[in-house]
Amino acid sequence: MEMQTARSTFQPAQACARLLDMPALFLKSLLFVFACVLWTALPGAAEAQTAVDLELVLAVDVSLSMDMDEQRLQRDGYVQAMRDPEVQKAIASGPNGRIAVTYMEWAGPPTQNVVIPWTIIDSPAAARAFSDRLEAAPISRARMTSISAALAFSKGLLDMSGMRGIRRVIDVSGDGPNNAGLPVTGIRDELIAAGIVINGLPIVLKRGSSWGMFDLENLDQYYTDCVIGGTGAFMIPVRETHEFQTATRRKLLLEISGAEMPARLFHAQNRETMDCSIGERQWRRYLDGVPN
């Protein structure tokens, strides 16, 4: 995997060791396993991993349910957040003074696209360079919504990072529930058991008659019950287009600093737990021709 820094190198020994412990979901073929075994035997394979304060996967929904204006606002939220002086200050304030970030886009089970590979950010200049590259990259679009596949792919990215982070976080944004691939709760629980924190940015923009068959008005509750997890996990909903930048900035500040979100801001009280298979049921109704 390409590394965007001269100060770190990919560590095949640790990456392959992690992959061999992963469930079958991540092992595409026995050939890959064999390649890992050979890789670890190469000279220099046991080099020390690069220490960072945070390994962060930005996993961004690009399913067709979001129009291009919303996709651009979502992308710009991350671009502007990395240019923010307070975010850059938070990066410098950690014990190592650096974080590692990768940005990937996802949709249905076969669609995960790494837009920016693992990049060490250790200065305002590095943060601005990350933003400039992200701003210039095209935005992909695809069908379906598989949060479970996005989380599984993100786990693979973390295991192949070549970093040694104090914390490992997946930051997943999306505008709908899981409706394809494996159930989301199973892979979520596997990631939590591996010490990974999953935070959420549910996008809840539609109102009234604009709600469609695959929309979920209480998507923030779905993310709370079915997607996020791990120590200090939180979600921040986006309900208006102007909130993309403020919500993204706030979320990154919390993730980088490791501060905990006040519970009242992300836990709905006195309500029933969400049905985590609601997205799959919506899709089955659509295929059966049943009105929502």
Identify the band that residue 40 occupies on the pLDDT scale cut at 50, 70 and 90: very low
DSSP helix/strand/coil, 197: strand
Which of the residue ranges 28-32, 92-96, 189-193, 279-283 would you say has the lowest mean pLDDT?
A: 28-32
Q: Could you state, in order of their start, the residue ranges of all structural domains in the chain?
A: 9-48, 50-266+279-288
> What is the mean predicted confidence (pLDDT) over 276-284?
86
Confidence of residue 24 (pLDDT cuts 50, 70, 90): very low
Cα–Cα distance between 60 and 141 in angstroms, integer?
Answer: 11
Q: What percent of the chain has pLDDT over 90?
A: 64
Res 41: pLDDT: 47
CATH number of this structure's domain 50-266+279-288: 3.40.50.410
Rounded Cα gap, residues 256 and 244, in angstroms: 18
Gap between the Cα atoms of 166 and 56, Å rounded: 11
Express each pLDDT in 211-251 by its tens digit.
456 678 899 999 999 999 999 999 999 999 999 999 999 99
Do 32 and 160 contact (CB within 8 A), yes or no? no
Query: Does 162 have pLDDT greater than 90?
Result: yes
